[in-house]
Chain A
């Protein structure tokens, strides 16, 4: 099947180096300490952060740092066919672990000992790149909750189909059987915190694809900074500063 036409257009009309449209909104869930909605094309994700608060399971309490917990779940109607088991399945557990470890790397946990920070991510619509959208949403939600972080964490995926590196795969391109590389970076510090890849890829091509995904991450980081700046201005107006 042809994923990139001879004119250089993908199935949804994008160019190979073009990302899907991003949209983010802070403060969607009023009950949460911090929350955000993040959309990448048709993939729509809600993240809510509760914390720092008292550790619910005393045995897990750490005296020198905060405990980070993360849960990823997909709504029953998020995928094409209705999902029977949205939570306990292996994929969700794995992604929960990945998001937790990614965010743990950038949250300054030593500033909040004996406390717990819960990050919950709910996928409302899944069209490829849910992992990346979740990490981006979690970053915004943590910033909204005022939790101290070393840097933002942004993530983007890239693949390699028809011998062309493609940025930000959607569901159809992802299920094509080609490699799917997900990269998560700390943009200001220019460090890679998450790097995952499926399927096979020649090593000399890997560098190109990872570079492409990193560019995508930086674009997301710019957008997130704009959103946070706008949000801060709004807060200033409301405080009457």
Chain B
């Protein structure tokens, strides 16, 4: 433990963390969102928080809905950490963090209720949309969950559901722009539309160390300290998820409340940046 404290002191002096324990919240210039990064996908976004880079893209396919919920579509979320992102990821052996983050992301997005699965339905009982959301980590420099969640949310807000119609065989086909046979086909989804997003979740990862809270850690800081707390709030201020997977530092209620307050500040910042990214995309 003393070896690690020594390293922490070195990082503290290098990063100039003030005695009060709060690292200054990262400036807006360090955070970038670019919607529509992947032209071949129905919705995509590239997010950079510091050096951590996440690329997410959504591909839509038509499927038959399940019997229990015939009027709902499906959203499948998968998180990948390819070997390019970090020196500790080896090919053939997926990173330990990848399936953990995949589940965390899946749970947070479904529990936040950001999209209504009923919007993904086409023909009740017969056809519905299956949206595959793949998040790829291109550069892993700490606080992966924050960047992954932000890019997933940005991709969902950029998503445009393609226009389809049902042909005579009862199959759903994509409507092409120069469709001369429009009379024979019944448009199921008239034109491209966006999903309505209800409450958007944003998150913040902090590290607890003795009586310090380090906000938005880099990979160097994460490797030295073991107690990580991730809090996700939605835009209405409700707590969506709280994740503290063990760790040597015990979290007393005041520290958790401080983390939640920091997350609230972050949510305002992220909301502004996401709206800006969406509006610049619409202008184009």
Contacts and interface: CB of A to CB of B under 8 A. Distances in A.
Contacts of B44: 77
A90 interface: no
Interface string B129-148: 00010101011110000000
Please tell me the size bucket of the interface on B: 20 to 34
Contact of B84 (A77, A79, A122): A122
Contacts of B38: 77-78, 124-125
B132 A28 contact: no
Nearest to A79: B40
A42 B138 contact: no
Interface stretch (A1-9, A30-38, A184-192): A30-38
A110 interface: no
Interface stretch (A12-20, A68-76, A207-215, A227-235): A68-76
Given A73-B82, A77-B38, A82-B61, A122 B87 contact: no
Contacts of A127: 40
Contacts of A77: 38, 40-41, 44, 57-59, 132, 134
A125 B40 contact: yes
Interface string A71-110: 1010111111010000000000000000000000000000
A69 B139 CA distance: 20
A47 B40 CA distance: 20
A120 B83 contact: yes
B90 A122 contact: no
Most chain-A CB neighbours within 10 Å: which of B55, B57, B58, B83?
Answer: B83
A120 B134 contact: no
Please tell me the size bucket of the interface on A: 20 to 34
A32 B41 contact: no
B84 A32 contact: yes
A122 B53 CA distance: 14
Interface string A53-75: 10010000000000001010101
Nearest to A49: B84
B184 interface: no
A48 interface: yes
A76 B138 contact: no
B116 interface: no
A29 interface: yes
Contact of B141 (A31, A42, A50, A69): A31
Contact of B138 (A50, A56, A118, A122): A122
Interface of A: 28-32, 35, 42, 46-48, 50, 53, 56, 69, 71, 73, 75-80, 82, 118, 120-122, 124-125, 127
Interface of B: 38-41, 44, 51, 53, 55, 57-59, 61, 78, 80, 82-87, 90-91, 132, 134, 136, 138-141, 219
